[in-house]
Structure 1
Amino acid sequence: MTPELEIRAVNTKTAASVVDTSSQPLIYAITKNKSYDWHCRLGNASDRVVRKFLQIYVPSFNQKQWTPFVSEHCLVSKSTRRALQAQDEIPQAHPRDLMVTDVIGPISQVDIHGNKYLLTLRDHASTLVFFFPLKSQDQVTSVITNALKLIHNVFHKSVKFIRADNPKEYKENKFNVQLVSMGTQHIFTSPYTPEQNGEAERLNWTLGDTARTMLKASGIPSTFWLYAYKVAAYIHNWIPNTKSRDKTLLELWCGRQPQAQQIHPFGAKAVAHVPIEKRGKLDNRGRICRLIGFQDDSRGFFSGMRGKSQ
């Protein structure tokens, strides 16, 4: 007994859905639409491929009789995500219009301060990055809230939009209420589409590459990875990129120019002055150390002493 067949197709000329559920022989049901018949014969190939095949190898087929169709089975079996569209409705041309955030970690090796995660917060227009170490992901929302408050206090302007992936810590009602109170709208990426937050993902990749390279080149122990990441972010903000052209990211963000004489190689040997309060009369006034970071205001450095986790 010939099985029943249900065919669903859409005639694009009439935009009418055609459903045939009648008990018809299999061959008869398929060949009701010759175009669809050849589509099935050729392994559900695309219209373009089927028409090209018929043109070359079946000259008896009249191309004028081609009937456009949409195969429901192809739509279901070959379904793909829609191409990601630019979010034109979100302003992003000026600093503090849009900021993107992401969490790096957990990092397998806990640093000397007990941190396992890193939070990055990047301004889309200037590409400037803020960088925060975390001991746990529970700190994410409070750190972001405090950072946005600081930006508002300094510039007297709220960040309009902040974009993030979909982890649960970003979806806390209290957190989103705080954002609304500051005039910031929280937008999420679609589930299973990390590329929508690709800007933050690429930043994490760049900072990671820079940090690993500096640790390797300097010979500084990997437990100091936090400082390597901090220097990577610091330098990232002090140099131009293809988007910022002839200006540094910090110049685009707040008009501040870099102090080139304050930048030294990560891990460079240095002499740290010992305050008089911390030395005796006959003690040395300086100690040999390694440079592992810069203060945000460029007026000081962080140093590591051999044999000491400080």
Structure 2
Amino acid sequence: MIAQHKRKVDDHENAQIWDARLGHISKDRIRRLVDTKGLEIDDLDHLPTCESCLKGKMIKKPFVGQSAIAKGLLDLVHTDVYGPLSIPARGGFSYFITFTDDHSRYGYVYLMRYKSKAFGRFKEYRLEVENQTNRKIKALRSDRGSEYLSGEFIDYLKENEILSQWIPPGTPQLNGVAERRNRTLLDMVRSMMSFTELLPSFWGHVLETAVKLLNISPSKSIPQTPYEIWHGKPASYKYLRVWGSPTNVKRLVGDKLDSRSSLCRFVGYPKETT
């Protein structure tokens, strides 16, 4: 249960809690939230080294160069498939596919049992985002994976006047937005999972939470958060909780002598949470 009264917390605990709530994003991103969104996070300069961050993040050479950002929502969408992961997520999912709008950097993720489900996930994504924005996807950028080169996928894009932008083989940097997005998400998943004792099969729940957190976090590429550009309003941060943390949930029915609550774990936010 969430206490209704405020309590004073240790400065380091305050900063550490927000680091965990925000999915162990970089300190620079947290600082931008403090500076521009009014988040009250004490003593961020003295935030101790986070073991979960160290466990989750791998140092890799960054992609160099950055092309001009698309002028409008859905003018260009980046996509990439990742998998199979060695441990399937709950529900039997071994892959995931991401879609990232170039203009806003607002992203979606879908879990998949097989790579061949990519076409169906794209149709699902297109229906949702075009209805949300009242705009049409103009171009889709991807690698030349077989999941993007099926006849039905190619025909669908042509029929709906969506330009296919396939990058040449061996040049992942040309699909840098999607590659960076997947790398960042996996770093967050590892960091958030190492913060709890939940089974690795919960990675799908963590992944969906990480996407939501990235959407409300500052990006180096754009002046506002992806959420603000996509929805046209600021995001709320008051509902954020540490993924995997224990929580007591009130029982709706039960014997009068039974416990009134059950100890559970927080594993994600409802899709409509804003």
On whether the aligned pair clears a TM of 0.5, the verdict is yes
Q: 1:264 to 1:180 in 2, by over 3 A?
A: same
**Equivalent pair of 1:259/1:298 in contact (CA under 8 Å):** no
The partner residue of 2:115 within 137, 140, 154 is 137
Q: 1:85 to 1:205 in 2, by over 3 A?
A: closer
Question: Does structure 1 residue 288 correspond to structure 2 residue 271?
Answer: no
The partner residue of 1:221 within 187, 199, 210 is 199
Q: What percentage of residue pairs aligned between the two structures are identical?
A: 25
Deviations 1:65-94 (A, max 9, x none): xxxxxxxxxxxxxxxxxxx99877xx8122
Question: Does structure 1 residue 230 correspond to structure 2 residue 208?
Answer: yes
In 2, distance between residues paired with 1:93 and 1:115?
35
In 1, distance between residues paired with 2:123 and 2:80?
14
Q: How many residues align?
A: 211
Q: Helix, strand or coil: the match of 2:119?
A: helix
Q: 1:183 to 1:156 in 2, by over 3 A?
A: farther
TM-score of the two chains, using structure 2 as the length reference = 0.72
Q: 1:85 to 1:221 in 2, by over 3 A?
A: closer
Q: 1:1-310 alignment to 2 at 5 Å?
A: 92-245=70-223, 247-276=224-253, 279-298=254-273
TM-score of the two chains, using structure 1 as the length reference = 0.64
Deviation at 1:150, TM superposition (A): 1.8
In 2, distance between residues paired with 1:253 and 1:96?
10
In 2, distance between residues paired with 1:205 and 1:87?
19
**Equivalent pair of 2:76/2:137 in contact (CA under 8 Å):** yes
* Aligned AA (1:261): K
In 1, distance between residues paired with 2:106 and 2:182?
13
Deviation at 1:280, TM superposition (A): 3.8
* Aligned AA (2:177): E
Q: 1:174 to 1:215 in 2, by over 3 A?
A: same
Runs of 5+ unmatched residues, structure 1:
1-83, 300-310
Q: Helix, strand or coil: the match of 1:229?
A: helix
Q: Helix, strand or coil: the match of 1:218?
A: coil
Q: 1:280 to 1:184 in 2, by over 3 A?
A: farther
Larger Rg: 1
Higher normalized contact order (CA 8 Å, seq sep 6+, divided by chain length): 2
Structure with bigger strand share is 1
Q: Which deviates further from its counterpart, 267-276 or 218-227?
A: 267-276
* Aligned AA (1:293): G
**Equivalent pair of 1:145/1:178 in contact (CA under 8 Å):** no
Runs of 5+ unmatched residues, structure 2:
1-63
**Equivalent pair of 2:73/2:135 in contact (CA under 8 Å):** no
Deviation at 1:125, TM superposition (A): 1.2
In 2, distance between residues paired with 1:125 and 1:281?
55
Q: CA RMSD in A?
A: 2.1
In 2, distance between residues paired with 1:87 and 1:264?
35
Q: Where does residue 6 of structure 1 map in the other structure? A: none
**Equivalent pair of 1:101/1:162 in contact (CA under 8 Å):** yes
* Aligned AA (1:203): R
**Equivalent pair of 1:244/1:252 in contact (CA under 8 Å):** no
Q: Helix, strand or coil: the match of 2:96?
A: strand
Deviation at 1:281, TM superposition (A): 4.1
Q: 1:273 to 1:176 in 2, by over 3 A?
A: farther
**Equivalent pair of 2:193/2:203 in contact (CA under 8 Å):** yes
* Aligned AA (1:295): P
